[in-house]
Amino acid sequence: MDFPFSAQAGRVIARLEEQGYEAYAVGGCVRDALLGRTPHDWDIATSALPEETARCFADCRVLETGARHGTVTVLLDGEACEVTTYRVEAGYTDGRRPDQVKFVRRLEDDLARRDFTINAMAYHPVRGLVDLFGGRADLDAGRIRCVGEARRRFQEDGLRILRGLRFAAAYGFIIEEATARAMREERERLHLIAAERVNVEFRRLLTGRDAPRILREFAPVFGVFLPEIRSMWGFEQRNPHHCWDVWEHTLRALESAGSDFLVRAAVLFHDSGKPSTYTQDGAGIGHFYGHPAVSERLADEALRRLKFDTDTRKRIVRLVKYHDVSIDNQPGCVRRWLNRLGEEDFRRLLQIKRADTLAQAPLYQPPRLELLAGLEGTLQTVLAQQDCFRLRDLAVNGRDVLAAGIPSGPAVGEALRYLLDGVIDGRFPNERAALAGALESWKGDNEGRGYSRPPVGR
Ligand code: ATP
Ligand code: MG
């Protein structure tokens, strides 16, 4: 078998076995290597107890990273390798973590406690693959299947439901029938799982290539920890611009959204405010006035609950908020949006709008796609010309403003903002002389009002 084994993992295993213990590479690294992907780390499982492992590597740095659970980190030749004692877990009374772990001496027992067959294989550089549960066949067939009885495994730890869905989304795998049924039956178990653990899996799941399919097939599972999506299911739009219900529209938009997490998360929530803002006009046409603001609030609530970091949450929420704004294809308008969102997030906004459009009624797509293509072109030009759209691009700075006689304090920022707005809108060029002139007129307009910002009509 062609197996891209890590030399360092091989040395760790050899060292343990010289001392009379047994050791294997296990879990995710074996799965990834068989898939032809480079494993991001090599986990070693061994019959040695943590203190015995530490003794085997007495000449190396050994960190007691999780000795209670049997894991020590060995630093061999400058590389870190996690070595975990064979163990079984017992008594999952709370449905999320074992009451105790018990160290064992047999590899079979350690493999049997693992979640999915594809994650329950071991590899030894001499003895080869240990595959007791048909993991290899499931990998080849592209199938996620629990080790043992699926329902019981999800009752032990509800996070496994989401892990299974994550692997299916990431690898484009199907979920074996009994496992799929148990995921749906035991979905409420996800309520017991700490938000931080759900967060990690959900984030990876959503960026998986098959995330839309998994969201479609397992919507009720996601509804457990994302109640915000439930009202979208089957919600008819009754509007000529739309040919799908809100949820199906969302899934189709996701299919065209690329794999960036912020884009995908924003698309997932972008229309969540539609059901609660629905109105019907006299002709029986459905409208959703103000839905972006409601979607924005729902996204914010969901992301807070799932303990996303503030920056990530705010950026997703902002993309949701603006997903439906109309943006003119004018350099000034593009610069204004670049100023507001920065280049990365403005590109994301265009991506979201494109995905949104591609999931609408085909008849209305061409002009919208054309506008978006035009905006991309203008964006390229604005960036290539190095147009000014940020304070730091401005040809003058705070010192220049002070030198022009503006007193230090809030007036400096207001004057700079006035100049930047003018440059963004194309009212004056980004040149020192022109800006000095503009500053003089701003001073004139504001002298009597203590240099406060003039009301800009926009
Ligand atoms: P990746 O590291 O790519 O996310 P992984 O499968 O390696 O995937 P880890 O969280 O690193 O995931 O776990 C390592 C191994 O431990 C898994 O392959 C699996 O055998 C086992 N494992 C992890 N979490 C669970 C769990 N909740 N229940 C049972 N076994 C688990
Ligand atoms: Mg891993």
For the ranges 60-74, 94-108, 181-195, the maximum mean pLDDT occurs at: 181-195
Identify the residue whose C-alpha is closest to ligand 1 atom 16: 27
pLDDT in tens, 340-399: 999 999 999 999 999 999 999 999 999 999 999 999 999 999 999 999 999 999 999 999
pLDDT value for 354: 98
Identify the residue whose C-alpha is closest to ligand 1 atom 6: 28
pTM for the predicted model, two decimal places: 0.93
pLDDT value for 92: 74
Ligand closest to 45 (CA) is 1
Ligand 1 atom with least separation from CA of 159: 27
Alpha-carbon gap, residue 274 to 295, rounded angstroms: 7
pLDDT value for 65: 87
Identify the residue whose C-alpha is closest to ligand 1 atom 3: 28
CA atoms within 13 A on the CB side of 245: 12
For the ranges 76-85, 175-184, 406-415, the maximum mean pLDDT occurs at: 175-184
DSSP track, 79-138? EEEEEEE-EEEE--TTSSS-SEEEE-S-HHHHHHTSSBGGGS-EEETTTEEE-SSSHHHH
Instruction: Place 241 in a pLDDT band, splitting at 50, 70 and 90.
Output: very high
pLDDT value for 401: 96
Q: Which residue has the tokens 């500053």?
A: 439
Identify the residue whose C-alpha is closest to ligand 1 atom 27: 160
Q: Provide mean pLDDT across the span 114-125.
A: 98
Q: Is the pLDDT of residue 31 over 70?
A: yes
DSSP track, 343-355? HHHHHHHHHHHHH
In three-state secondary structure terms, 144 is: strand
Amino acid at 402: L
How many angstroms separate the alpha carbon of residue 311 from the centre of ligand 2? 26
**Consecutive H or E run containing 438:** helix 432-446
Alpha helices in 359-431 (DSSP H): 365-384, 398-403, 410-425
Least Cα distance to 267 among 218, 216, 212, 311 occurs for 212
- Six-digit token string for 175: 């979920």
Ligand closest to 37 (CA) is 1
Amino acid at 29: C
Instruction: Place 442 in a pLDDT band, splitting at 50, 70 and 90.
Output: very high
Instruction: Place 457 in a pLDDT band, splitting at 50, 70 and 90.
Output: very low
Ligand 1 pocket by C-beta < 6 Å: which residues? 27-28, 43, 114-115, 119-120, 157, 159-160, 163
Q: Do residues 107 and 16 make contact, with C-beta atoms less than 8 angstroms apart?
A: no
Q: Report the chain's C-alpha Rg in angstroms.
A: 29
β-strand partners of 124 = 128
Ligand closest to 200 (CA) is 1
Q: Do residues 171 and 142 make contact, with C-beta atoms less than 8 angstroms apart?
A: yes
